[in-house]
Amino acid sequence: MNMHPDCERIMLSEEQLRSRVKEIALQVDKAFEGKRPLVVGILKGSIIFYSDFIRHLSMPVELDFMAVSSYGSGAVSSGKLNIKKDLDKDVQGRDVIIVEDIIDSGFTLANLKALLLERKAQSVTIVTLLDKESRREYDIEPDYNCFMIENEFVIGYGLDYNEQYRHLPYIGILKRSVYEK
Ligand code: IMP
Ligand code: MG
């Protein structure tokens, strides 16, 4: 496989992503049998995972999106989630599935889940592609996660560094020299 020169190495290949995403999607599909969930993708990082994930679902689903940002990640998080684009749909009484690229400190998903429950969603289920478990600072866990990863900065398959690399079809570890200059 052609690797981008800014990658240290490939962590998850296209084939690994394809088969694990399918496996998780089928589990979710089964768990929601008879329901009609609202599948919420968190922009922009989840786009590729989201589009692969939903294509394995056989239940009736509705799609919606949100874009959020946290002011200052990690040590200096302000404790407030900034909603850049809100949902089109009303979540009251709905079973909501949040699809997110990665859970790191847990700030984003802890706040999003609380927000959707405050808006009276019937249930909120979190599906993540990646989990950097060792970085968790907030009391939140995904209900479904595709891959546990070490504390490395990763790019590709939707994930970016300064809005670059989202289109790479694999998950790669970004070279330190790229962000340490
Ligand atoms: P949290 O709110 O600290 O859990 O951060 C989650 C967000 O941080 C994700 O939605 C990503 O946008 C970003 N993020 C965390 N780790 C990485 C990474 O290794 N690569 C790219 N983005 C990351
Ligand atoms: Mg994100």
* Cα–Cα dist 117/124, whole Å: 7
Q: Is the pTM of this model over 0.85?
A: yes
Q: Is position 131 annotated as part of the catalytic site?
A: no
Whether 77 has a pLDDT exceeding 60, the answer reads: no
pLDDT in tens, 28-57: 999 999 999 999 999 999 999 999 999 999
Distance 60 CA to ligand 1 centre (A): 30
Q: Which ligand is nearest to the CA of 135?
A: 1
Ligand 1 binding pocket, CB closer than 6 Å:
45, 70, 73, 100-108, 153-154, 159
Q: Check residue 75 and give its pLDDT.
A: 45
Q: What are the strands of the beta sheet with 38-43, ordered from one edge?
A: 81-85, 62-70, 38-43, 95-103, 123-131, 144-148
Q: Check residue 90 and give its pLDDT.
A: 98
Whether 95 has a pLDDT exceeding 70, the answer reads: yes
Out of 101, 128, 153, mutate this one to test ligand 1's pocket (max ligand atoms within 8 Å of CB): namely 101
Q: Which atom from ligand 1 is nearest to the alpha carbon of 107?
A: 2
Q: Check residue 2 and give its pLDDT.
A: 85
Whether 118 has a pLDDT exceeding 60, the answer reads: yes
Return the structure tokens found at 67: 């874009």
Catalytic entry in 29, 88, 90, 104: 104
Q: Check residue 145 and give its pLDDT.
A: 98
What pairing do the DSSP bridges indicate for beta strands 95-103 and 123-131? Answer: parallel
